[in-house]
Amino acid sequence: MKRILVVEDEASIREMVALNLKLAGWEVVEAPSAERALEQLHAGEPCDAALLDIMLPGMDGLSLCETIRRDDPDIGIIIVSAKGQEQDKIRGLSIGADDYITKPFSVSELIARVEALVRRVRRSAPDGRVAEPDQLVSGPFVLDEKSRVLYKAGRPIDLTQVEFQIMQLFFKNPGTALVREKILEGVWGKGYFGDVKIVDVNIRRLRMKVEDEPSNPQHILTVWGYGYRWNA
């Protein structure tokens, strides 16, 4: 069964979200604080996804996001922010969140987001077996689809699931200018509720990892007014 961590200090919201996720087939782990969430993550079975409210007592949701991502590069993370917290959304994406949703949100939208996120994280064959390992090579870079690690001149670079999928898209379209909307659809899926800013944030994060000089990128190039192009 799919397992999700829900971290929300308002009991009524947490219980409502948990109930609807359970009805949708999820095993739900509830936590009223970041500290309790970390205790449960360390003590129990791993989670496929985490839904983190930003405004929490004690450690906030952004610090929790960073801590979880440092320990688990594979878990899908959605942060929950209030309207007007644009900088919090950007920071959350920069430190490892895969998506964000704004309060107030509909339960159907939330479940759709969570399901879409986990589908992206679980790249498996139709019969449930993990797909056969493969490697994509582009210049000095090797993208290992089994370990989901990027290598640059033999040096491993750990990627989040979203970063990995963006690199897959680049490697399969070398030298091609990809419009932001194509990247959004290719990684986040059709019907994604968010906007293209999430692409730009992840590109900035990728440049910090793959470029020798992120301020003067040589591999992930900006096509002004359009999108991005991969150059090995």
**pLDDT confidence of residue 88:** 80
Q: What is the pLDDT of residue 121?
A: 64
CB distance 118 to 91 below 8 Å: no
Distance CA 179, CA 170 (A): 12
pLDDT digits (tens, 9 = 90+) for 51-108: 999 999 999 999 999 999 988 888 999 999 876 667 787 888 888 888 888 888 888 8
Q: What is the pTM of this model?
A: 0.69
Q: Assess whether pLDDT exceeds 50 at residue 110.
A: yes
- Report the C-alpha gap between 102 and 49 in whole angstroms: 17
Res 144: pLDDT = 87
What pLDDT sits at residue 147? 77
**pLDDT for position 133:** 47
Which domains, and CATH codes, for the chain? Answer: 3-121 (3.40.50.2300), 135-230 (1.10.10.10)
CB 96 within 8 A of CB 74: no
Report, as an integer, the average pLDDT of 8-26. Answer: 94
3-state secondary structure 125-185: CCCCCECCCCEEEECCEEEECCCCEEEECCEEEECCHHHHHHHHHHHHCCCCEEEHHHHHH
Q: What percent of the chain has pLDDT over 90?
A: 50
Contacts of 48 (CB under 8 A, 6+ apart): 2, 3, 4, 75, 76, 118, 121, 122
| pLDDT over 50 at 223, yes or no | yes
Q: How far is residue 89's CA from residue 80's CA, in Å, rounded to a whole number?
A: 8
Indicate if the pLDDT at residue 123 is higher than 80: no
Q: What is the mean pLDDT of the chain?
A: 86
Interval 38-46 mean pLDDT:
90
